[in-house]
Amino acid sequence: MATTEPTEPTTAQAATKRDFPFYAGNPVLLRGRQWAVVLLGVAVAFALLSLLPVPGPPLLGQWVRALLFVAVPLAALALVAGRHWTALFHRVGWKDVGMMVGFAVLNTVVSLVVGSIVISTAGADANPVGGALQDMGTGERVLMFASMVPQLIGEELLTILPFLALLYLGVTKLGRSRRATIIVAWLGTALLFGAVHLPTYDWNFVQCFVVIGIARVILTIPFLITKNLWVSAGAHILNDWLQFGFGLFAGSLLLVTL
């Protein structure tokens, strides 16, 4: 009798069976002190991104800070999780790429609508990077857009690692409902994401917690679905490229939503 070899699950099938890492023993369980190390790494990385002086051209400083923004949290995670730090990242399939594009477009549309309402009611400030891009030549613009890749992966780590820490706290430590904890962590990290943008937008609370917060809620959904940081990072990168690119040609409206 002929036998058939078992087939490898597709990327989509694997994603449906995949759980969030680190909060409940998959692939390892990180406990309170270990999560403290990871969150300290996230905080140090954000401080370096915001405050580290780098001699030389501004673009050099942008690249150095962006790379540290990624490297420091991942180093902290590797310190406590060992080789399992890679559990944040999985193979990307075409469905994942479609999800990246779809959520980037969705977020751009929602951000335009919400941003225009906030501009007309509470007022808003443009992202200073948009102004800097206007004054750059083509080569500098290419380098700036490229530097957004590590920086936005860092922004995903700044969101997703605290999300997983809250998941550990709620589900594993306190025994709360997994679904309820996911919702609390999802919304809580959106508020955190809005808060870290306050200096960028001149402490405009409405803009950061409403416009930026809603954008973060949307951009986290790909990670909730796939448990793959590459997918949410891809959506985030495409989102910012799309908005900054349009901002170069269509004025400043999009640049208040980043």
Domain-wise residue ranges, the chain? 88-256
- C-alpha to C-alpha distance for 217 and 121, rounded to whole angstroms: 22
- In this prediction, residue 211 carries a pLDDT of 93
Amino acid identity of residue 63, one-letter, is W
Q: What does the buried/exposed string (b/e) look like for 150-189 if buried means 16 or more CB atoms within 10 Å of the residue's CB? A: bbbbbbbbbbbbbbbbbbbbbbbeeeeeeeebbebbbeeb
- C-alpha to C-alpha distance for 250 and 248, rounded to whole angstroms: 6
Residue 170 has what DSSP assignment? I
pTM above 0.95, yes or no: no
Q: What does each of the 258 residues of the chain score in pLDDT, given as a tens digit?
A: 444 444 444 555 556 689 999 999 999 999 999 999 999 999 999 999 999 999 999 999 999 999 999 999 999 999 999 999 999 999 999 999 999 999 999 999 999 899 889 988 888 887 888 778 888 888 999 999 999 999 999 999 999 999 999 999 999 999 999 999 999 999 999 999 999 999 999 999 999 999 999 999 999 999 999 999 999 999 999 999 998 888 777 655 455 555
